[in-house]
Structure 1
Amino acid sequence: MTSVPSDPLIGQTLDGRYAIRSRIARGGMAMVYLATDLRLERRVAVKVMHEHLAEDANFTRRFEQEARSAARLSHPNLVNVFDQGHDLGRTYLVMEYLPSITLRELLKQQRRLTAEQSLEIGEAVLSGLAAAHGAGIVHRDLKPENVMLADDGRIKLGDFGLARAVSANTTTGQALLGTIAYLSPELVTRGVADARSDIYAFGIMLYEMLTGAQPFVGEQPMQIAYQHAHSDVPAPSLQSAEASPALDSLVLWMTRREPDERPRDAGEALESLRGIAGAEAGSGSTRVLPRIADEGAPTPATSVLDPAQRWALAGNADDAATTVAPAVEPGVEPARAPAPIDRAADAGRARRRRGRIIAGFAVLLIATAGALGWWFGQGPGSQVTVPDVAGQEIAAAQAALEEHALVVTLAECSSLEYPAGQAAETEPASGSRVDRGTAVQLCQSTGPQLLPVPTLVGLSLDEARALIEDQRFTVGEVLEQRFSDDEADTVLAALGANGDALGDTYPELGTIDLITSAGPVPDVAGLTADEATARLADSSLTVDPAVGAESYSADVPQGSVISLLPQTDPMRPGDSVGLEISLGPELFPVPDVSDLPLQEAMDALSAAGFTPTTLVPDALRSFAKATGTDPAAGEKVAAGTEIRIRSTISL
């Protein structure tokens, strides 16, 4: 039941406060994680810059700029930013956690949206964008992926990763930023962006919501960019019956190729969109949208939207088909709409018919809903959803399951994602629909699985690394090299994360660090001091004259190295050593044995460490007396040197 996390940040705690639980999403600049704010006891989203980008000052500056830009904004339709920091070598941003799907995911599910859905989402996006524009901030990456549709119905705009403060125009530098399908013509041709560039991107997004497709497509990004720069966006009504004339005008106004011909900012665009959205309720909005004249230039509309038109634009699913402009082929001018009074009368009659039908169905639905509610809520057909308790303390997890009328049994399992003692998973899995009273096995994490440790000492470094990975551990660092009798890069020791030697078992994916051999200590005996220093330098050892010594040696010539004088045990590359230099053999003075009986003279020389010799036969030595030596008395010679005694014989 062990699962390997996607990256090592899961389970870590940033700045002692944000405990990383799981990964939510991956972007071009950063990874987004679900985390727990241990101080405020709430779930947050933590956006962590990719490690390889953290070394780039430009990317770091842009990432921190996002934090500053977003923190300046506070609006119900914008994702809140709580904190920003740097820990574990990572730069991160703490944001509001929003269980949601993106507008892109909704479009994939439904293909296209109704006019009512499009207006509701569009109003929320423009409201948040208007707050940003009011603060002097351009988003520059508006697209469905950055629109969050929360589970509780909230709609929020997020990801200000490309946002920056703006005075008049904001240049993008050498490369275009943002998604190519939503880039404005001025970004493509001149590389500059302002609030009107965001309006263009929103117009493309509104077109896509209504039609289910982007206005410009191509096999290569440059083909799409070329169309943005040189082609007008077509009216959405050519592809979708959901698009009314007013929505056509709004889309075409916001996507004009010349920035000066678009709304000046999201506030102005929002005012126009609200006029359309409020039309069905008879809001009396007098907002006039530009309409596209025959020559294609935007001109003011000549009348306020009538009630029937407002109803159609509000996206009513029952009668929209009878009130919105039908799709027409490109190049064919749509038929002129009926008079406002006629449309209002038709809409009123349609509402009355629909009201009578709805009233009849309502009675039936209430009765049916009551029966179904009893059956599935309290009766035999009732089921519950197994809650997600992973990461909770085991007692809290058990209580949460029992609150759903489930019978809990405990089991233990290893887990890389959740620390020992926490709930890891359930069987059936969270999200499953089961009957009340169903037995659910709650798995209590015992931490990572303990695996047998292979024998690494004696292997080469490459062999050890391959074996560590093969046995499902993590290769750590070579902590140090030591001189030894083994060949270079032979593993001498394997250590755990705490720096101690490994035992028989070790946690799965645990990091194993290594100590390796630097090879044998260089043999410098018999070399001159200069030769020895050069040879030691080749092995990254330095000679420290302050720790050197000189000694007599009968075997090593004077001036040559007798041995190394280590300063550390064991020795490592980079250490300092001393040299023991030979003074040659030690010399001793020859004692004066003149006038001593020959035998006494020989005994005296032997006691002084020399080898005495004489030409006097043994039988006559008692009659002989020493008269001198060769070498002479007082001359210094090495111990063991042969000393010839001169003598006379007296009979």
Structure 2
Amino acid sequence: MDTTLADPLVGKLLEGRYRIDRRIARGGMATVYQALDERLDRVVAVKVMHPGLAEDAQFLARFTAEARAAARLSSGNVVSVFDQGSHDGLAFLVMELVQGRTLRDLLHERGRLSPAQALSVLEPVLLALSAAHRAGLVHRDVKPENVLLGDDGSVKVADFGLARAVEAATQTSAAGLLIGTAAYVAPEQVARGSADERTDVYAAGILLFEMLTGTVPYVGENAVSVAYQHVHEDVPPPSTRADVPPPLDALTVRATRRDPGARPSDAGAFLAELRDVREDLGLRVVAVPTGRATMTGPSHATVAVPLLDRAVTPPQPPPPGRRGHRRRGRIPVALVVIILLGAVMAGAGWWLGAGRYVRAPTMIGMTEAKARTTAGHAGLKVALGARVYDEVVPVGSVVRQDPGADRRIRKGATVTLFLSQGKERHPIPDVRGDTQSVAEAKLRQATLTPQFFTKADDTVPGGRVISQSLKPGLLVRRATTVVVVVSSGPPPVTVPNVVGDDLDSAKGTLTAAGFTVNVKRVNDDSIPKDQVMSQAPASGNAPRGSAVALTVSDGPPLVTVPNVVGMKIHQAEATLTAAGFKVFVVPFFFTDRVKTQNPAGGDHAPKGSTINLLR
């Protein structure tokens, strides 16, 4: 039977947005579907948790918190988390859909990988884990099923924080169980139920072991027997099962030490050692083999594993020879006193030790009232911190708590809750008509990010805002970018060439083109008066309304006319010629001397003009 057709969720629309198309896979905690985000028109993966988990408030709170933490991870090697929600009581995650297959599929196909291939897969896995560790997030369930190999050659890690969310479910924690995959679980997870960055390092080391050898280090009849081998035995060097270079052999052993303190401190430290080994061996980064999921062969499921300190031990038979026989008689008073004193001392020791401490419950995502009730049941008090903005947690519900969930604190201590004041939104200010500096100040005061561009404009003065990309009054997130267009003044206009034109004509031409005119006159012997001698700018483009400077001829310079009346004609001609004038003599009297002159002596006349002499 087609399981897709039989699945009741196929075809459903989750939260009015995610249309379920088909089932991709089903695991121990969730079922994964391919879906269409109808709002953004993109294909996504939707992981729907099994119904039993959705009934547990502790799980839902942890699930929400871990989803938010995973969504904040910024790494190209982490499967992006887009959204989380619930549908008919079923919690779900919306994630990036990676087209390809899992590392488990590749290992089923090839058995084991070459050293170069193994390191080329592990390096992006460690990059993803190191990004999580820097953000304070521990994966807790690193395994081939959670390593996705994209058709584009990418390697991405999925399901960050999911194991921790499931482990928080009350029916699980009450039974003394941890959530993980037995083949990859670290000794401290089994022995103490604790996990930190070194727990992920251990699982990544087992992952490297399996890629190099084609098998996991331990097998057993059930998950418990496999998990306990991690506690009581050292992981063997991979060279005992395959041909592995010594440096790579040593790296695997270091990463899988039973003592967490003997391992690399986190994924970043593991990555640095891996790169040193790669360089020592001269191994290049190679392409990760691509392909489609085969859906064949065994896989390692995430399961609940009993903690070692709570594991049930088989009943012990009574000592030989004591069965069915009990000595009758009174219990001595001294023995009773000793027993009572021992009980009192044991009780006091318990109280001074573990008895006065509790684990802070998870209250993330709860309403204030529910969080107070939860804290009260745990014997804790509640104080309220400053309200904070949050994109996911509803107004009045818990965004953060201090001390954090699972922290060991004294009974009666106070847990500070930070409640959500909803999504952070800021109104867009109106900056149209403002100068650029004023607009920038307004936008930054509103916690927005301005981005400025310039554009020529006939109507808006230069340096003033023409337009803005977002409507004034619109409510947007902090740091939203607002594109602001600032006027650079009127658009440039081609400058006409008016050199050689008379002044009146030149003015008309320039005014018609949108320019103003500045005139400077200079005397010139060779250019007629009122003719344009030069202009600036001479050509090209200039802003409309700007000035064009014209240099205009004012004709030859004026020269003082010498007084030659009474001089002999030849002397007068010589004097005037030397002064730059021409001479015309009008004979009237029969004499050789000048009787009158025009222009008269002392007047001013253009150089080169004619002086008339009457004799």
TM-score band, normalised by the shorter chain? 0.3 to 0.5
Q: State TM-score, norm by structure 1.
A: 0.41
Q: State TM-score, norm by structure 2.
A: 0.43
